[in-house]
Structure 1
Amino acid sequence: MKVIKTNLPDVLIIEPKVFGDSRGFFQETWQCERYRDIGITGNFVQDNLSLSARGVLRGLHYQHPYAQGKLVSVVQGEVFDVAVDIRLGSPTFGQWAGVSLSGENHRQLWIPPGFAHGFCVVSETAYFMYKCTELYTPETEGGIAWNDPDIGIVWPLKDVSLSEKDSRYPWLKDVNRGKLPGCIQDRVL
């Protein structure tokens, strides 16, 4: 597999080996030793699958405490996927990295604990999969506005469809600092 570093430390684009021929393809989507060797050491406890239509934007979501590391990929379709560093004290606080994930490019994105996450569907539909290092705990869920001007994410679509909850998230500067994870030497607090 090939690992591509992003502008955010520890946020990684992963290109697994894909073995294909006229019958289809085979791809290993997770193998603990190989992923541990590239720094993904979390114990995955939950897998999720979502189906969304073109223009659906989900996010920017996070949990604190119980921050989730996420290994995300697209089974069918295409999304623009984004991670935002929200770790107080991090030198890259408020910065983002984005990548196109699709069923055709087979890429994965590793989003460590302490980052907000969101994606926008650019194909007609997309099946989006993610492995999580913590269980979903609704009482610790938070969010940041997808169009926060201080973060400045360049989304591929301007006309997006948001859930009611996602449409009410505040700018990062307006989030209570007690609701954000801290960062000491790349450890999430």
Structure 2
Amino acid sequence: MKLSPLELDALTELFNMGVGQAADALSQLAGEPVLLSIPEVRLLPKAEVIRQLARGDDKRVSAVRQGFHGDIVTDAILMFPAEQSLQLVQIMVGEQVPLEHLGEMEQEALAEIGNILLNSVVASVADSLGLALDGSLPEVELGVVSDVLLAEQDVDEPLLSLQVRFDIATRSIHGYLAFLLDMRSTGMLEERVADFIRRLPGGGA
């Protein structure tokens, strides 16, 4: 799969619309403004994503995985550094909940956060590109980066990666979205992105 700078720019804009919708929904859930940065969209080998996230050490992450099937097949994965996930959960459930009580509700809260963000982003892109997709229920995984991303797949296979920063009050939490696509799905995505660009004013020029 190869995406031109123009195609990456188009995908960034499409993903950003979904991120904006997710920010609104998360703000309502948190009861305070949640600002999400414009996602940095890149096509990278899994090994490079693991290197960036692990930073030389295969760190533990809290991840939410959701499968989408239809015109394309993808696993969408939202990851946070494990040490930041409890902070995010506390923001969502309220500061009055003691930190020691958060562990028991961490997975449920993370699943809700992931469900909002992943569905908003995927739905926005699917609508714009004319893709019909159905999503599974989100699953929470706690583990090292390589186990979450690789499963049984080739470390050199590319994935579509998005880095998003959550800014909530005085805290900044870095989330990472990854989309694992099979070969048929990457070809379909390339075709739909090219069609989308051609439909833009001046896109055929």
Q: What's the TM-score, normalizing by structure 2?
A: 0.26
Work out which of the two has the higher radius of gyration on C-alpha atoms and give 1 or 2: 2
Richer in helix (by share): 2
Richer in strand (by share): 1
- The higher-RCO structure (CA 8 Å, 6+ apart) is 2
